[in-house]
Amino acid sequence: MHRAGYSRTHFHGCRRAASLTASALLVLWSGLLISVASAQERQQTGPAPQPTKGVLVYKDLSYALNGHALQKLDLYVPESNDTLLPLIVWIHGGGWKGGSKDYCPPIVWSKKGYAVASVNYRLSQVARFPAQIEDCKAAVRWLRAHARKYMIDPDHVAVWGGSAGGHLASLVGTAGDVAAWEEGHQASSSQVQAVIDWYGRADLTPVSKDSAYANSPSASLLGGSGSGVAELAREASPILHVSQDDPPFLIMHGDMDKVVPVQQSRAFAEALRKAGVKVSLVVLKGAGHGGSDFLQPEQVSVIDAFLNRYLRLQRSAKSD
């Protein structure tokens, strides 16, 4: 009897140990995915710029009450300013399963008179779509609700993202009227005045039609592939939310992109034009899925002109 009892205890102990080991491996694997995706993101545009002197840095601001650890943002605000500042909200890439707010290419615009926020959001291994767009919209609303505290102009906000972040930025721009995705700070709006989309996926419906997408990041985002996710794939596609009241778009994409075909951005830009939305499409010859090409002086000038036109000039006209 004693021996049999020992065997049962030993068996349950082993089972608990195995369960704990499996949980630990899952955590390690998730961390590895995030690290790999973050490394891939850094390779897309080079080392992340760092804040310089004259910029106030607010780290890990929670934009969701009692939220997940990923529902935080960093904020960079030029100091010694006596006026409200237009805001750039950066949404990182990483296949919706990795990446981090720590990698924020637009941070250099904080030296150009913009407040810059860099947003983390729940990743696909934590929650499936629409959690990601809910978080991005919640971050915009939180920033508006706290605009005065951080010297932000709540009426002049641009959202900008790369790859998966480009997809989410585009969805913020085209789905500003989707009430089902609005959570927290309901008194504030998540609608923005301008969108910069770097090589984001505009149409996710192939996930529901093409078996080649079965193990893709898009399938992980939606929680599966095939006809079972057809409706969710449509909801997650910025191109299917386009309407004439969408904000101006700047879309930038490399013609040698092997991850997201440039045709995605061509079709998206055409849909925006047909709806009467102001859109500029810049196709970078020889560029792939990101890379230093996107922050070359010529492209920075294009971005500066776009932000100046739709955040600064419109802001000046409104105040006159």
Distance (Å, whole) CA 54 – CA 298: 26
List, for residues 157-206, the tens digit of each pLDDT value: 999 999 999 999 999 999 988 888 987 566 689 999 999 999 999 999 99
Q: Could you tell me the strand order of the sheet in which 115-119 lies? A: 55-62, 72-78, 115-119, 85-91, 152-162, 194-198, 249-254, 279-284
The pLDDT score that the predictor gives to residue 14 is 44
State how far the alpha carbon of 258 is from the alpha carbons of 17, 69, 220, 274, in Å: 43, 32, 19, 27
The pLDDT score that the predictor gives to residue 295 is 96
Residue 35 has pLDDT above 60, yes or no: no
Residue 229 counted as domain residue: no
> How many residues are given for the chain?
320
DSSP strands (E only) in 27-132: 55-62, 72-78, 85-91, 115-119
Query: Diameter of the chain by CA atoms?
Result: 91
The pLDDT score that the predictor gives to residue 183 is 73
Residue 209 counted as domain residue: no
For the segment 47-57, the average pLDDT, to the nearest whole number, is 79
**Confidence band for 82, pLDDT divided at 50, 70 and 90:** confident
Residue 26 has pLDDT above 50, yes or no: no
Residue 219 counted as domain residue: no
Task: Please answer whether residues 252 and 196 qualify as being in contact, where contact means their C-beta atoms are separated by less than 8 angstroms.
Answer: yes
Residue 288 counted as domain residue: yes
Residue 258 counted as domain residue: yes
Task: Please answer whether residues 159 and 172 qualify as being in contact, where contact means their C-beta atoms are separated by less than 8 angstroms.
Answer: yes
Residue 275 counted as domain residue: yes
Residue 225 counted as domain residue: no
Residue 146 counted as domain residue: yes
Of residues 135, 197, 246, 257, which has the active-site annotation?
A: 257
The total of structural domains in the chain comes to: 1
Is residue 289 among the annotated active site residues?
yes
Mean pLDDT, rounded, of the chain: 87
H helices of the chain, in order, are 2-45, 131-145, 164-174, 217-222, 230-235, 262-274, 297-307, 314-319
**Percent of the chain topping pLDDT 70:** 81
For the segment 85-102, the average pLDDT, to the nearest whole number, is 97
Of residues 163, 188, 220, 225, which has the active-site annotation?
A: 163
**Confidence band for 39, pLDDT divided at 50, 70 and 90:** very low
CB atoms within 10 A of CB 124: 23
Residue 43 has pLDDT above 60, yes or no: no
The CATH code of the domain that includes 138 is 3.40.50.1820
For the segment 6-16, the average pLDDT, to the nearest whole number, is 45
State how far the alpha carbon of 216 is from the alpha carbons of 101, 212, 231, in Å: 23, 8, 18
The pLDDT score that the predictor gives to residue 311 is 95
Q: Among 3-17, 110-124, 276-290, where is mean pLDDT lowest? A: 3-17
List, for residues 236-280, the tens digit of each pLDDT value: 999 999 999 999 999 999 999 999 999 999 999 999 999 999 999
pTM attached to this predicted model: 0.84
Residue 1 has pLDDT above 90, yes or no: no
Is residue 319 among the annotated active site residues?
no
Residue 80 has pLDDT above 90, yes or no: no
Is residue 100 among the annotated active site residues?
no
State the DSSP code for 94. S
CB atoms within 10 A of CB 126: 14
**Confidence band for 81, pLDDT divided at 50, 70 and 90:** confident
Residue-number span of the structural domain to which 76 is assigned: 2-202+237-319
